[in-house]
């Protein structure tokens, strides 16, 4: 079975036990990782973006995507 990911999805390598913050707002300068820019977006546009936190139990690769990355 193959999965089709949106064109704007990103593959990241994650290390066991390390915490990652993934951007959901699309405004980060270090995509796909959160750099805190969502706080400005939330204040300006009265919304409530938050990063997604990931901690893996093993070294692996994953695909990440947010619908806001396409807008
Ligand atoms: S910068 Fe996008 S969620 Fe933090």
State which ligand 1 atom lies nearest to the alpha carbon of 68. Answer: 2
Is pLDDT at 71 greater than 70 in this prediction?
no
Q: Which residue has the higher pLDDT, 67 or 20?
A: 20
Of 5-9, 27-31, 39-43, the least confident: 5-9
Average pLDDT for 7-25: 96
- Reduce the DSSP state of residue 57 to 3 states and report it: coil
DSSP one-letter string for 19-47: EEEE-SSS--TTTTB--STHHHHHHHHT-
Does any ligand 1 atom lie closer than 6 A to the CB of residue 34?
yes
Q: Where are the domains of the chain?
A: 11-70
- Rounded average pLDDT over 58-65: 96
Q: Does 1 score more than 90 pLDDT?
A: no
């Amino acid at each position: 079975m193959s999965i089709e990911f949106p064109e704007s999805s990103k593959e990241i390598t994650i290390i066991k036990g390390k915490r990652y913050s993934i951007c959901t707002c699309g405004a980060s300068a270090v995509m796909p990782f959160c750099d805190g820019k969502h706080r400005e977006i939330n204040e300006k546009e009265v919304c409530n973006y938050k990063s997604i936190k990931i901690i893996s139990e093993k070294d692996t690769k994953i695909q990440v995507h947010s619908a806001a990355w396409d807008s």
